[in-house]
């Protein structure tokens, strides 16, 4: 598996909280188009069909910290 970039990890972490692309863009101060590009890259790298599958895969591969802050 190709390693996710730091920004992709940030997007993936926000996906775990159920944020929309628009919300993620606002939080990270980027455009929705950029969020979609990161999401596309995440899906490809994790071989996931959708954002939910990406989150599940991220958790199962221990890429994401699932503990509440």
**pLDDT tens-digit profile of 13-45?**
999 999 999 999 999 999 999 999 999 999 999
Q: Measured between alpha carbons, how far is 53 from 69 in angstroms, rounded to an integer?
A: 23
- Average pLDDT, rounded, for the chain: 93
Which of 40, 34, 66 lies closest to 54, judged by CA?
40
Q: Please, where are the H alpha helices in the chain?
A: 6-16, 21-28, 32-46, 51-60
- The pLDDT confidence band at residue 63, using thresholds 50, 70 and 90, is confident
CATH top class, domain 6-60: mainly alpha
Q: Using CA atoms, how far apart are residues 67 and 69, in angstroms rounded to an integer?
A: 6
**Residue 49 confidence (pLDDT):** 98
- 54 within 8 A of 46, measured Cβ to Cβ: yes
Q: Is the pTM of this model over 0.85?
A: yes
């Amino acid at each position: 598996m190709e390693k996710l970039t730091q920004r992709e990890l940030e997007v993936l972490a926000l996906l775990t909280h159920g944020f929309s692309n628009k919300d993620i863009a606002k939080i990270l101060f980027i455009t929705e188009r950029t969020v979609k590009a990161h999401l596309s890259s995440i899906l490809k790298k994790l071989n996931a069909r959708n954002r939910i599958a990406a989150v599940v895969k991220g958790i199962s591969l221990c890429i994401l910290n699932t503990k509440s802050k």
